[in-house]
Structure 1
Amino acid sequence: MRISILFVLLAAMLWGTTGTTQAFAPKEAAPVVFGAVRMAVGGLTLLLFAAFRGQLKREGWPVRTLIIAALSMAFYQPFFFSAVSLSGIAVGTVVAIGSAPIIAGCLEWLIYQKVPRTRWWIATMAAIAGVSLLFIPSASSGGSFLGILLALGAGLSFAVYTLTSKQLLQKQKPEAVTGVVFSLGGVLLAPLLFLYDLGWIVSVQGMAVSVYIGVIATGAAYLLFTAGLSKIPASTAVTLSLAEPLTASLLGTALVRESLPLISWAGIALLLLGIFYVSYQPRKNKMSAENVNA
């Protein structure tokens, strides 16, 4: 249980490096294309890794669940980057990342009649409040209504991916699930690669960020996330993934030399408290992973 929580937190930390990585990408790299490249490189990496481990098999794939998982991960990219473009980085990120754990918990409630326990609600509220405080200093005066809707679409996409992946994990290995889902998602986003100039990819800088964003921040990160997800509730995993904006903010301070005001540090403290609270496992529940539906 605890190692699963650690896997999810490490995955979220790797996701938190994507913003910094994009900042080092060539200026010609459009956000939507950057997301498509991420899926293409990440999907191929994950598929090759699964094949190398001998985890791929033809049988045991619920077709509908697999298609939904691939679609949700494919839609997340344009939803998120378009939301950020229309509503601003702060508003788009807060709505997308902050809405995901609530949507995941509600979907578990509606679909599986699995009501999240009090611990999950408290931790999620604290984490979402922390994310909000973290981005308040840079928030724009207002975001477009369409941008907010797209950000909610990104949150829904991530929540659906988490739930459907958990179903696939009942019959498939984590490596196989991530490899197949991301490869299909990359195929779905492939047409975007023909709509923009891709000359930047062949540069040293472009190749470096493409490899990192695909192999490390996507391939390795989602392998860790899926491995952790197999042992903890989906709603808890999505709440733990809120470590992503925490990592992004700290990297911005350390590498880009951005200064964080007091209110941002308060947000970081709330995020840490929320993550710690949802990660804490009382001794009496050690033997039952599913009982900790925080």
Structure 2
Amino acid sequence: MPALLILLAAVCFGTTGTALALGPDSASPASAGAVRIVVGGALLAMVVFARRSSRRGAPPRAAARLRVPTVVLVLVGAAAIVAYQPTFFLGTTRAGVAVGTIVALGSAPIFTGLLEWVATRRFPGTVWIVATVVASVGVALLGGALEPGSSRVDPVGIAGSLGAGASYAVYALVAKLLLMRGAHSTWSMGALFGSAAAVSLPIALTTDLSWLARPDGVATAVWLGVVTTGVAYVLFGRGLSDVRASTAATLTLVEPLTAALLGVLILGETLAATAASGIAVVAAGLLVLVVPRRGGAPRRSERVTSRADGF
């Protein structure tokens, strides 16, 4: 089930902030983000290389009428991936793992829906609007459930998280556009993250990488690269093949739930009683998207397989 794959990917995403918090203090957001993409992107690129003889793993053949070359889409998506890392880690570092992740992922569905509407000229749909509004209310309740003093809400951190949400929207939409051109999900993720890895390597080398000399630093890098990037985006890409980018972004609101629970259970962050209400409301919003409509037939708006108009 495509939705389940995206939900599993979101759980992997949700461990990112906690992994950084448990790592060495010297691992800066810029350094950790660059290393994450270098490791994860290299892994995804290796998967594509291993599948190079497979017809399904071949690059997409863009129709002549498409105005934006595939290589341009890949570069735009890769740039957004690179931008996401430092902005996301800035948010979780300055505003706390729970709040930083909630703001980043809570804003992502809105950014994604708007960008998808502009790019594909297809309205995301009433069901998506209802689900996103309900889930966003739950995210707001969850974010407001932090007890005073449990996490320092920093304006710079919030701005970083919003930047991460916008960056996420861009590369999620680019991935969907590549799939709409006939690319296999593994190729799409490998092309995007492999390109991002090539850009991130020199960035990583300009940062303090001394934290990688420590056992906990190596463990952090492996977890960030393999679990939260490699495994997560293979799952995400396969799920994205059969749902709209806006729907996928809303489903990934499981990530802030995961981050909030890990923040409480592992990092000792405090959540007020209203957190349970927030979790329940987010779950209700996601169910609107996951539960099939009467008759069990997939919604036409969810199975977007045609080319994006003008792309």
User: TM-score, normalising length from structure 2?
Assistant: 0.85
| Superposition map of 1:75-90 within 5 A | 75-85=83-93, 89=97
Q: In structure 2, how many angstroms separate the alpha carbons of the residues matched to 1:83 and 1:22?
A: 12
Contact 2:101 2:259 in 1 (8 A): no
Q: Deviations over 1:4-23 (max 9, x none)?
A: 00000000000011122112
Q: In structure 2, how many angstroms separate the alpha carbons of the residues matched to 1:47 and 1:127?
A: 34
User: TM-score, normalising length from structure 1?
Assistant: 0.89
Aligned residue for 1:21? 19
Mean Cα deviation higher: 85-94 or 59-68: 85-94
Are 1:206 and 2:208 an aligned pair?
A: no
Mean Cα deviation higher: 162-171 or 90-99: 90-99
Aligned partner (choices 185, 204, 210) of residue 193 of structure 1: 204
Aligned residue for 1:8? 6
Please give the secondary structure, in 1, of the residue aligned with 2:87.
helix
* Displacement after TM superposition at 1:60 (Å): 3.3
Please give the secondary structure, in 2, of the residue aligned with 1:211.
helix
Specify the code of the residue in structure 2 equivalent to 1:60: R
Contact 2:131 2:289 in 1 (8 A): yes
Aligned residue for 1:32? 30
Q: In structure 2, how many angstroms separate the alpha carbons of the residues matched to 1:152 and 1:197?
A: 26
Aligned residue for 2:81? 73
Q: In structure 1, how many angstroms separate the alpha carbons of the residues matched to 2:96 and 2:264?
A: 19
Specify the code of the residue in structure 1 equivalent to 2:17: G
* Displacement after TM superposition at 1:130 (Å): 1.5
Aligned residue for 1:229? 240
Contact 1:232 1:289 in 2 (8 A): no
Aligned partner (choices 238, 252, 262) of residue 251 of structure 1: 262
Contact 2:94 2:152 in 1 (8 A): no
RMSD: 2.4
Q: In structure 2, how many angstroms separate the alpha carbons of the residues matched to 1:275 and 1:214?
A: 27
Q: Deviations over 1:73-103 (max 9, x none)?
A: 1111122223445555565434322111011
Q: In structure 2, how many angstroms separate the alpha carbons of the residues matched to 1:5 and 1:184?
A: 27
Aligned partner (choices 132, 135, 156) of residue 124 of structure 1: 132
Are 1:216 and 2:214 an aligned pair?
A: no
* Displacement after TM superposition at 1:223 (Å): 0.7
Contact 1:281 1:292 in 2 (8 A): no
Aligned partner (choices 158, 164, 167) of residue 157 of structure 1: 167
Specify the code of the residue in structure 2 equivalent to 1:243: V
Mean Cα deviation higher: 229-238 or 257-266: 257-266
Aligned partner (choices 161, 180, 185) of residue 174 of structure 1: 185
Could you say if the C-alpha distance between residues 141 and 182 of structure 1 is closer, same or farther in structure 2, counting changes exceeding 3 Å? closer
Q: Which has the larger share of helix?
A: 1
Contact 2:30 2:207 in 1 (8 A): no
* Displacement after TM superposition at 1:275 (Å): 1.1
* Displacement after TM superposition at 1:290 (Å): 2.8
Contact 1:99 1:156 in 2 (8 A): yes
Mean Cα deviation higher: 226-235 or 108-117: 108-117
Q: In structure 1, how many angstroms separate the alpha carbons of the residues matched to 2:39 and 2:158?
A: 28
Aligned residue for 1:63? 71
Specify the code of the residue in structure 2 equivalent to 1:152: L
Aligned partner (choices 250, 268, 274) of residue 239 of structure 1: 250
Q: In structure 1, how many angstroms separate the alpha carbons of the residues matched to 2:103 and 2:222?
A: 28
* Displacement after TM superposition at 1:148 (Å): 4.2
Q: In structure 2, how many angstroms separate the alpha carbons of the residues matched to 1:6 and 1:272?
A: 14
* Displacement after TM superposition at 1:234 (Å): 0.8
Could you say if the C-alpha distance between residues 205 and 121 of structure 1 is closer, same or farther in structure 2, counting changes exceeding 3 Å? same
* Displacement after TM superposition at 1:253 (Å): 3.1
* Displacement after TM superposition at 1:36 (Å): 0.8
Aligned length: 290
Q: In structure 2, how many angstroms separate the alpha carbons of the residues matched to 1:151 and 1:199?
A: 26
Q: In structure 1, how many angstroms separate the alpha carbons of the residues matched to 2:59 and 2:276?
A: 49
* Displacement after TM superposition at 1:255 (Å): 3.0
Unaligned runs of 5+ in 1: none
Aligned residue for 2:308? none
Q: In structure 1, how many angstroms separate the alpha carbons of the residues matched to 2:270 and 2:99?
A: 19
Q: In structure 2, how many angstroms separate the alpha carbons of the residues matched to 1:263 and 1:187?
A: 44
Could you say if the C-alpha distance between residues 8 and 142 of structure 1 is closer, same or farther in structure 2, counting changes exceeding 3 Å? closer
Specify the code of the residue in structure 2 equivalent to 1:221: A
Could you say if the C-alpha distance between residues 31 and 287 of structure 1 is closer, same or farther in structure 2, counting changes exceeding 3 Å? closer
* Displacement after TM superposition at 1:217 (Å): 1.4
